[in-house]
């Protein structure tokens, strides 16, 4: 009967917000809104192991941060068995792109945008060949992850990353909601109800 499909009142979905900068091995100032990756990693593990948690909703509004830490979070999300859906709100800057793509279903709010640019560091970089090789390999890891989990071709992602006519005094692209879907970065434009509806559908189908 249709009544049997009503949402179980017992908590089934965990909501995880990843906002501000992703804090890695270096501690950010107290006045900077940040998400500490060493707190997120064990939390994701607990969510995956908790029998009462049937799905994961990830709310994303990032402004960059530690690329290695962000990629570590994305790798754990991508490796979860439970249904996962990401929802990009406001902005998904830099590492926010692989974080969004890591979920089994990705949504972007109509007013949201995603910023794509090459991997970079703040401050002075020692001009040693090893430094540039490391940055190049790190960028390849990001590109490989995004193209493996989203529906965008490598050459298209590289073109977005290296555009010089989109950002003032910078290299890269700002991709808005519907364009992110058209390019294959995100599965669909949607809102909170859409994200929760997809999760409940997946949970129901597993029963």
Q: Crossing angle for the helix pair 67-78 and 129-149, nearest 10 degrees?
A: 30
Alpha carbon 95 to its chain centroid, in Å, reads 7
Cα separation, 154 vs 114, in Å, equals: 17
Per annotation, catalytic residue among 94, 106, 173, 200: 94
Q: 117, 149, 173, 200: which is the annotated catalytic residue?
A: 117
Half-sphere exposure in the Cβ direction for 190 (13 Å, CA): 17
- The reply to whether 94 belongs to the active site is yes
Would you tell me how many other CB atoms lie within 10 Å of the CB of residue 32?
12
Q: Which of 112, 84, 122 is nearest to 178 (CA)?
A: 112
Distance in angstroms (rounded) separating the CA atoms of residues 73 and 69 = 6
In whole angstroms, what is the distance from residue 9 CA to residue 128 CA? 58
Q: Do the beta carbons of residue 58 and residue 96 sit within 8 Å? A: no
Please say if 117 is a catalytic residue: yes
Let me know: does 138 contact 67? Beta carbons within 8 Å: yes
Element of type H or E holding 52: none
Q: Which residue has the tokens 């490796």?
A: 79
Catalytic residues: 94, 117
């Amino acid at each position: 009967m249709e009544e049997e499909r009503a949402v179980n009142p017992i908590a089934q979905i965990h909501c995880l917000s990843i906002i501000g900068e992703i804090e890695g091995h270096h501690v950010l100032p107290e006045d900077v809104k940040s998400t500490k990756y060493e707190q997120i990693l064990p939390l994701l593990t607990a969510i995956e192991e908790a029998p009462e948690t049937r799905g994961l909703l990830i709310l994303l509004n990032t402004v960059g941060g530690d690329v290695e830490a962000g990629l570590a979070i994305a790798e754990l999300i991508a490796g979860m068995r439970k249904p996962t859906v990401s929802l990009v709100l406001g902005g998904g800057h830099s590492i926010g792109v692989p974080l969004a793509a890591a979920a089994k279903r990705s949504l972007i709010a109509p007013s949201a945008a995603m910023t794509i640019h090459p991997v970079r560091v703040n401050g002075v970089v020692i001009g040693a060949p090893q430094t540039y090789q490391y940055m190049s390999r790190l960028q390849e890891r990001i590109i490989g992850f995004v193209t493996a989990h989203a529906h965008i071709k490598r050459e298209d992602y590289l073109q977005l990353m290296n555009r010089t006519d989109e950002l003032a005094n910078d290299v890269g692209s700002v991709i808005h909601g519907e364009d992110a879907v058209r390019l294959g970065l995100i599965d669909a434009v949607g809102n909170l109800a859409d994200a929760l509806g997809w999760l409940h559908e997946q949970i129901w189908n597993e029963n």
